[in-house]
Amino acid sequence: MVCGVRLEIRGLCHRYGGRAVLRDLDLEVDPGEFVAVVGRSGSGKTTLLRLLAGLENPTRGAILQDGSPLTGLNRRVRLMFQDARLLPWDRVAGNVGLGLPVEQVGRVNWALKQVGLEDRAEDWPRTLSGGQQQRVALARALAGSPGLLLLDEPLGALDALTRIEMQALVEQVWKASGFTGVLVTHDVEEAVTLADRVIIVDQGRITSETRIPLPRPRRRDSPEYAGLVEQILRQVLNKNTETFTYE
């Protein structure tokens, strides 16, 4: 099992020109924890993921991974985006093994098996449905043995039923692999379905966080689930609400 990384974010600030995108963020994520970040468009969610991936350096503050400052590209991280970003000129297996050293190519078949596509290894990406392409993207992330998986609206372009299936698959591989997960999503139900904790970011600041104590897999038809979704949605919309208590 892969050991997830521990993240510590201290006083994180980031600016683009004269515009502050993130302001004094403090956050800790335990190894193997799954955290969802929810907020309006432009709130700084994707910028946070880019900083965690080491794609950019923060203007101020620090990101620690397993106690050490993150400098440069984060080698233990893998990313999933809304677009599967598959290479059309390479077959499924080639896409999954992209960037892997020779001694790790055996993980390609393993990763495809985890997402239920071991029989599509020699197919071209164009022959796959949107949901299958995202499964390949997930397999590519798993093949790299991530300690941290960053998910930037990876299911946003899928139809409702495929999205539910993919949420179950993401949860399944997370439980099996043990990586730390950070999901950015506009979908509050998706956040409650997948996360141990939901963080709300507004105008570059963390304004609230809610732990999700529901047993897995989450029952979407339960009053506890509906209550937490309503609570978090109201917080995102900046509406006053009483805190929902799960018992």
Q: For the segment 137-154, what is each residue's pLDDT rounded down to a tens digit? A: 999 999 988 999 999 998
User: What mean pLDDT comes out for the span 42-68?
Assistant: 91
Q: Measure Cα distances from 170 to 60, 126, 127, 149 in Å.
A: 33, 23, 22, 10
Name which residue leads in pLDDT, 75 or 235: 235
Say yes or no to pLDDT of 156 above 70. yes
Query: pLDDT tens for residues 30-52?
Result: 999 999 999 988 888 999 999 99
Beta-carbon contacts of 89 under 8 Å, excluding residues fewer than 6 positions away, are none
Q: What residue has token string 């304004």?
A: 207
Query: pLDDT tens for residues 160-218?
Result: 999 999 999 999 999 999 999 999 998 999 999 999 999 999 989 999 999 999 999 99
pLDDT of residue 105: 76
90: left (phi over 0), alpha (psi -120 to 50) or beta: beta
pLDDT of residue 245: 44
Would you place residue 58 in the very low, low, confident or very high pLDDT band (cuts 50, 70, 90)? Answer: very high
pLDDT of residue 228: 97
| Cα(238)–Cα(94) distance, integer angstroms | 45
- Identify the structural domains of the chain with CATH numbers, from first to last: 7-76+146-236 (3.40.50.300)
pLDDT of residue 43: 86
Arithmetic mean of pLDDT over the chain: 90
